[in-house]
Structure 1
Amino acid sequence: MNLKHTLLAAMLLAAPALAGVERSGEATAAFSGKGPAGFKLEGKTNEIVVKDQGDKVVFSVPLSTLKTGIDLRDRHMQEKYLEVSKYPEAVLEVLWTAIKLPENGQTVTQTTNGKMTIHGKTKEVPVTYTVKRNGEVYEASGKVPLNLKDYDINIPNYMGVTVKPDIETTVSFSFKKT
């Protein structure tokens, strides 16, 4: 549920005709959901895998690593809603030809499409990303909106508090072209 959003956002940071991508430094994938009376549900992980698969870049987030700050809530999210034993990761795929990288000292922001797979379902999603280039290092961030219903994920509900099905996922990391 929340992990899906983070994976979608993370997968938007590549460039056409790259031989490969090497992560540089910390990476973060996060999700944010809302409920009644100002209730917010947020979670994050620092585990993101980025792979160059020729014509596309693939971002994977192991859903079991998402943390909300409350162990019991994490366990419910993983076992009851995300079913990580059956669907261990969220995966975002973006074609290299859809990604633009800036020149040194410049920043690029754009929206493109990607394919998100969560909970055994694959859907086309909009991916909005920003990439800033500082020498050989690219600092990237992105976001992908998700609706849990699109992935047949039960809407989290606990003691009468129901999270809205629309979740925002974000990803940020630095990388170098290899």
Structure 2
Amino acid sequence: MKTRLIFICFICLSAFSFAQKSSVDFEIKNVGITVDGYFNTFTINADLDASFELKNLSGKITTSSIKTGIDSRDEHLLEEDYFDVENHKYITLKSTAITKKTNTTYNVKASLTIKGKTKTITIPVAVEKEGDKYKITSSFEINRQNYDVGGGSFVMSKTVKVNVIYYQEF
């Protein structure tokens, strides 16, 4: 009986470790040390046509859902000099043009709004079938100072690396 219970627990844990999970993660260097984190609450909408080509992409992140592993740092990032969540509750992205590069990759020109400032960026996006879902991924960099996040700090990098993984049902 004990062996059976251990086997069942092992199977359950294995299933959870392979679960597909959408995420919006970031990295930035601060005093030469890489600080990473993620946003807990977000929505992504990817419109695919009948031949499964990407036609539209948008996203909305709840800024206050930022997590870096240190609560006091997270609270500081919510303040006016960083994300100013009292006045700017969301980070948004809306595609304005999509160019197909290969069967599974695209260049997406989009309006990115952070802290009330909107800039046009171009990001690479990949769309792959995985079972009964689409896996949509993108890795890109932004300059935090373009959005007035973190001021003119000399010890914090201007470059923020962003990684997005999103699973969407067919």
Q: TM-score range by the shorter chain?
A: 0.7 to 0.9
8 Å CA contact retained: 1:27, 1:48: no
In 1: Cα distance, 2:117 partner to 2:107 partner? 22
In 1: Cα distance, 2:30 partner to 2:74 partner? 17
Candidates 143, 157, 165, aligned match of 2:158: 165
Supply the AA of the counterpart residue of 1:111.
N
Alpha-carbon offset, residue 95 of structure 1? 4.2
Q: How many residues align?
A: 145
Pair 1:175 & 2:168 matched: yes
8 Å CA contact retained: 1:126, 1:145: no
Alpha-carbon offset, residue 26 of structure 1? 2.6
Within 5 Å, give how 1:50-129 maps onto structure 2: 50-51=44-45, 56-80=56-80, 81-95=82-96, 97-98=98-99, 108-129=104-125
Secondary structure of 2:78's aligned partner? helix
Counterpart position of 1:29: 24
Alpha-carbon offset, residue 99 of structure 1? 6.1
In 1: Cα distance, 2:158 partner to 2:151 partner? 6
Alpha-carbon offset, residue 126 of structure 1? 1.6
Pair 1:41 & 2:35 matched: yes
Which structure exhibits the higher relative contact order, with contacts defined as CA atoms closer than 8 Å and separated by 6 or more residues? 1
In 2: Cα distance, 1:64 partner to 1:100 partner? 35
Pair 1:151 & 2:147 matched: yes
Secondary structure of 2:77's aligned partner? helix
TM-score, normalised with respect to structure 1 = 0.69
In 1: Cα distance, 2:112 partner to 2:24 partner? 14
Q: Which runs of 5+ in 1 are unaligned?
A: 1-24, 103-107
Alpha-carbon offset, residue 112 of structure 1? 2.5
Q: Which runs of 5+ in 2 are unaligned?
A: 1-19, 48-54
Supply the AA of the counterpart residue of 1:137.
K
Secondary structure of 1:117's aligned partner? strand
Alpha-carbon offset, residue 111 of structure 1? 2.6
Kindly name which structure, 1 or 2, has the bigger radius of gyration based on alpha carbons. 2
8 Å CA contact retained: 1:149, 1:165: yes
Secondary structure of 1:90's aligned partner? strand
Cα deviation digits, residues 58-87 of structure 1 (max 9, x gap): 201111111000000000111141101111
Alpha-carbon offset, residue 167 of structure 1? 0.6
Alpha-carbon offset, residue 88 of structure 1? 0.9
List structure 1 runs of 4+ shifted beyond 3 angstroms.
95-102
8 Å CA contact retained: 2:99, 2:107: no
Identical amino acids, percent of aligned pairs: 23
In 2: Cα distance, 1:100 partner to 1:142 partner? 14
TM-score, normalised with respect to structure 2 = 0.72
Counterpart position of 1:131: 127
Range with bigger deviation, 132-141 or 79-88: 132-141
- Aligned-pair Cα RMSD in Å: 2.8
